[in-house]
Amino acid sequence: MESMTSNNQHEVGSPGYERLLRLFADVRPREGATSLILVANIFLILVAFYLVKPVREGWLAVTDIGDLSKLEIKAYSAFAQSILLLGILPFYARLAAKWSRNDLIVRVGIFFGVLLIAFWLSQPGMMLGKSPVFGILFYLFVGIFSVTLVAQFWAFSSDVYGAERGARLFPLIAVGAALGATVGSWIGQKLVMMPAIDAFDLILVALVPLGMSLFFAVVANRRGTYGDPSNWTTDRWQEPAAPSSEGPYQLILKHRYLTATAIMIMVFSWVVTSGDNILFGIVQSTLSDDLADLRSDPEAFSRAMQESTAVFYGDLYFWINLVTLMLQAFAVSRILKAGGMQALLYTTPFISLIAYASMAFVPLLGLIKVLKVVENSSTLSIHNTARHMLWLPTSKEMLYQAKPTVDTLFVRLGDGMAALTILVGTRVFQLGNFGFVMINIALVLVWIGLSTFLHRENRRWNLAANNPAPRTNPAVPPGAIQ
């Protein structure tokens, strides 16, 4: 009876747009405005990222380094991202311990904006000629740009909402992320095909949504959850974003649940990135054959390869993000309701298993493109929801210290392992696409095993969080399984 009364009060006290938002999440009175601001925030971040992402692939397509293949250049560049993050994450943690959350978000965003302008000026044929180093640096930058801004956003949203409201409202925020990725890839695809706009101009276009996202972050920071800032919100205006504590690496190694989560994220990233590398190699080989009549004019051939690659990936990202949006809005909650956490954890690896088994025996570009759309969209919706839900029974210390590290460093470590796979497979064992696909199938089986372990541990942590035992050791957070 109390629950029914509460629901009726929500309906009576809510404006129409909040009742509409309730299709995606349990939005309660006065929560709708800040929720929409945060939806706009992550929407714009993803639009900016998907504007520059095709440029990254196109720039890499015309970057030549010695006798390295395009596949090797892409894979080794991804490995270098993980090395950079090892140094960037401790530096970022020091900034978070020093600056308020508002200053951290704004200053990091402005820094990335300045770098975007610098890279636009460094494009081939502009101020600095044509040097392969800028293509590699831009590839590294875009990878760090994406994981940093997205991880920072989710940390900020957790800070604004807290655990209870975050658990209710994050499904709505995730729809905004999926929509932003879809719109960003669609805009990029349309702009790059316009004669008046060069592919590199998308870098400057991305400054617009990036700047708007910073504006919405500032507004959300001032409003708090309800638009009438509480003492908690006003205190957070001046406090450091994330004061120093035990440290992320210690926390991850101390708790087997966090260790298994980190390893699972690394393996999943390894699988998906290896699949992306396989696709990139096939795309470059196919386009090179299609444009063979231009080889007599190296400049025209290079330009055509760059533009064709950008068009292919613009279309690919559009379909990935459109399917992601549909899955996030209409499938994820239903999968969770029907099969629980276990269904969320298993769905994507089993899709990957089917996809790579098909690739091994029918290696056609059109089919591989479709399979990658299905795999990547499942990763960005179903698997991402599972990833975030794994952290619900953990302590705030783990959320602020360990989760950003897992979501950035361990993702890039997976990229690095994919690069190492290319290095060893290409240089030592002379593997072709079939060999790399079979390695991915083996990794997917490891991924499924880790998901089984995490499902069991997640149930234990949830049980401990819902029925906490007396704390005999103050160093152990509530709900921890030692």
- pLDDT tens-digit readout, 25-59: 778 888 889 999 999 999 999 999 989 988 887 78
Lowest mean pLDDT among 62-76, 122-136, 269-283, 464-478: 464-478
pLDDT at 296 > cutoff 80: yes
Average pLDDT over residues 232-251: 76
Average pLDDT over residues 321-327: 85
- Amino acid at site 128: L
User: What band does 75 get if pLDDT is binned at 50, 70 and 90?
Assistant: low
207-223 and 101-121 helices, crossing angle to 10°:
180
Whole-number pLDDT of residue 127: 66
What is the C-alpha separation between 451 and 50, in angstroms, rounded? 29
Whole-number pLDDT of residue 482: 30
pLDDT at 470 > cutoff 70: no
What is the C-alpha separation between 385 and 399, in angstroms, rounded? 15
Whole-number pLDDT of residue 70: 64
Whole-number pLDDT of residue 466: 62
pTM, two decimals, is 0.75
Whole-number pLDDT of residue 209: 96
Whole-number pLDDT of residue 48: 95
Whole-number pLDDT of residue 465: 67
274 CB-near residues (< 8 Å, 6+ apart):
418, 421, 422, 436, 439, 440, 443
Whole-number pLDDT of residue 481: 36
Cα three-residue angle 350-354-356, rounded to 5 degrees: 115
Whole-number pLDDT of residue 130: 66
336 CB-near residues (< 8 Å, 6+ apart):
343, 344, 385
What is the C-alpha separation between 327 and 388, in angstroms, rounded? 16
User: What band does 128 get if pLDDT is binned at 50, 70 and 90?
Assistant: low
| CA-to-CA dists, residue 35 to 29, 221, 225, angstroms | 11, 12, 8
Q: Which residue has the tokens 């592919």?
A: 199
pLDDT at 471 > cutoff 50: no
Average pLDDT over residues 397-426: 82
Whole-number pLDDT of residue 265: 95
pLDDT at 479 > cutoff 70: no
Whole-number pLDDT of residue 167: 67
- Name the more confident of 307 and 363: 307
- Name the more confident of 270 and 280: 270
Average pLDDT over residues 158-162: 78
Name the helix (H) or strand (E) containing 138: helix 132-192
Average pLDDT over residues 426-453: 92
User: What band does 478 get if pLDDT is binned at 50, 70 and 90?
Assistant: very low
pLDDT at 81 > cutoff 80: no
pLDDT at 469 > cutoff 70: no
Domains of the chain and CATH, by start: 26-466 (1.20.1250.20)
Whole-number pLDDT of residue 66: 67
Lowest mean pLDDT among 46-60, 61-75, 323-337, 442-456: 61-75
User: What band does 450 get if pLDDT is binned at 50, 70 and 90?
Assistant: very high
User: What band does 5 get if pLDDT is binned at 50, 70 and 90?
Assistant: very low
